[in-house]
Amino acid sequence: MTVRRCPALFLTAPASHQGKTTVTAALARHHRSQGRRVRVFKTGPDFLDPYILERASGNEVYGLDLWMNGEDDCRARLYQAAADADLILIEGSMGLFDGTPSSADLAGLLGVPLAAVIDAAGMAQTFAAVAHGLASFRPGLAFHGFVANHVASERHAEMLAQQLPAHLPLLAALSRDEAARLPERHLGLVQAREIADLDERLDRAAAQIAATKLAAPPPPVAFPAVEQPVVPPLLAGQRIAIARDAAFAFVYPANLETLVQLGAELAFFSPLADAALPDCDAIYLPGGYPELHLETLSANTALKADLHGHVEAGKPLYAECGGMLYLLDRLSTRDGDSASMLGLLPGHAVLQQRLCGLGLQQMAFPGGALRGHTFHYTRLETSMEPIARATRASGAGQGEALYRRGGLLASYFHAYFPSNPVVAASLFLS
């Protein structure tokens, strides 16, 4: 079996909101500034953190999830990255042991050493207890060390490290720095393209890491080769128009890669700025933040006419989450702002204070099943009856609904196309 070796580190935490993304991005930026080629991966379904990590590292960021991707897909992407990377970083999701599968499951399977980021604000010697718990809860995980975040002073850092044994070192004690903080909104981090001073924030965070033990390259990890099935050119000769702008940016790079492997030609357009569709055989409306751009989307009547013409001609249109909201009669925010949308699907969605859908799911499309996830804050009221419902990867309760109108398919569900490229192709064929 062919094996490639590359230094690698898995950044995790005891919970969300500990600073994993900032630390991972800062570490990637530090090594990139030293002339190293850094490849970063994100655990679990995520559209926002990868764009921050991409800006920090200078390379595209792919997701890794043992259920959604499958083990072979995860291993194949890491093997490919190890071919020319000087460092591989993997950012975990939520807490180390949260979810099924968890970050711990992935790190243990891959044999990648862990560095846990712990928010140390309001904590002293208890830091060591949390660290001990993370390191000992599941035997067999390799721990490289710990990162204390939001440290108040040098004395505070000394107290945090007091009870840590030599084999669980404090790799870095990072102070709170609002100028390096990554801003957030209701779905998570603000999109990278919307943070005007993102590079300055990343450089500032990287400077904190430069003088710490965290900056030293981690040990090399062996990544074995995985044979991947050949993707048939089912979309050869097909041109797919894909919405891409500040309102519609939630798409896995692996999805676009799969469409190209299937033989499709991709053309991109902006529902916010373009008055016409590109010449195309099918349309892909991914998720995003249409609720932040209600007036602009509603006012683009020229593009609305083109989209209506496409659907009325029976051509395929596939829409996910925010893309589906754009198809509705109306979309409203929690503050009462409301605007008409495309009117291609009957219904009205309203942004809520709390999450309305979350988790890994599998959707049975007309051509077969795709794996993916759901994550949204809107509640939909529609007269349409779904043609199918997704099933959850774990837990009880109904999955997301799938709606159909002619060649149009729409759902809150976000599909991961590499989980079944043949079914992915069927979404864009008449």
Work out the pLDDT band at 428, boundaries 50, 70, 90: very high
pLDDT of residue 154: 93
pLDDT of residue 179: 62
Q: Are residues 165 and 264 in the same domain?
A: no
pLDDT of residue 97: 97
Quote the distance between the C-alpha of residue 347 and its chain's center. 28
Both tokens of 215, joined, read 């900056």
Q: Are residues 219 and 250 in the same domain?
A: no
pLDDT of residue 188: 67
Work out the pLDDT band at 185, boundaries 50, 70, 90: low
Domain boundary among 169, 195, 224: 224
Tell me the H-state helices in 99-222: 103-110, 126-136, 154-161, 198-210
Work out the pLDDT band at 111, boundaries 50, 70, 90: very high
Total domain count for the chain? 2
Nearest to 147 by CA among 15, 39, 18: 18
Q: Are residues 336 and 384 in the same domain?
A: yes
390 domain-assigned = yes
Q: Are residues 281 and 143 in the same domain?
A: no
Give pLDDT tens digits for 16-56.
Answer: 999 999 999 999 999 999 999 999 999 999 888 899 999 99
Mean pLDDT in residue range 300-320: 98
Domain boundary among 224, 247, 270: 224
Give pLDDT tens digits for 190-208.
Answer: 776 777 788 898 989 999 9
Q: Are residues 133 and 183 in the same domain?
A: yes
Mean pLDDT in residue range 330-336: 92
Q: Are residues 258 and 334 in the same domain?
A: yes
87 domain-assigned = yes
200 domain-assigned = yes
Q: Are residues 182 and 296 in the same domain?
A: no
Lowest mean pLDDT among 89-98, 159-168, 338-347: 159-168
Name the residue range of residue 336's domain.
239-426
Mean pLDDT in residue range 179-191: 68
Mean pLDDT in residue range 150-160: 94
User: pLDDT: is 66 or 183 the higher one?
Assistant: 66
229 domain-assigned = no
How do strand 408-411 and strand 317-320 relate by DSSP bridges? parallel
Work out the pLDDT band at 423, boundaries 50, 70, 90: very high
Cα gap 198→102, rounded to integer Å: 29
Q: Are residues 296 and 152 in the same domain?
A: no
Element (H, E) at 333: none
Q: Residue 187 in contact with residue 161, Cβ under 8 Å? A: no
pLDDT of residue 177: 74
Residue with tokens 């602009």: 296
Whole-model pTM: value is 0.94
215 domain-assigned = yes
Domain boundary among 156, 190, 224: 224
The average confidence (pLDDT) of the chain is 94
217 domain-assigned = yes
Whether residue 187 is predicted with pLDDT greater than 70 in this model: the reply is no
Residue 386's CATH number: 3.40.50.880
pLDDT of residue 33: 96
Instruction: State how far the alpha carbon of 75 is from the alpha carbons of 304, 310, 324, 361, in Å.
Output: 42, 39, 32, 21
Q: Residue 416 in contact with residue 255, Cβ under 8 Å? A: yes
Q: Residue 417 in contact with residue 363, Cβ under 8 Å? A: no
Residue with tokens 């194949």: 76
Q: Are residues 341 and 401 in the same domain?
A: yes
231 domain-assigned = no
Residue 130's CATH number: 3.40.50.300
Whether residue 126 is predicted with pLDDT greater than 90 in this model: the reply is yes
In percent, the amount of the chain with pLDDT more than 70 equals 98
Give pLDDT tens digits for 45-101.
Answer: 988 889 999 999 999 999 999 999 999 999 999 999 999 999 999 999 999 999 999
Give pLDDT tens digits for 207-245.
Answer: 999 989 999 999 999 999 999 889 999 999 999 999 999
pLDDT of residue 114: 98
103 domain-assigned = yes
Q: Are residues 313 and 196 in the same domain?
A: no
Q: Are residues 217 and 244 in the same domain?
A: no
Q: Are residues 211 and 267 in the same domain?
A: no
Indicate which residues carry an active-site annotation: 321
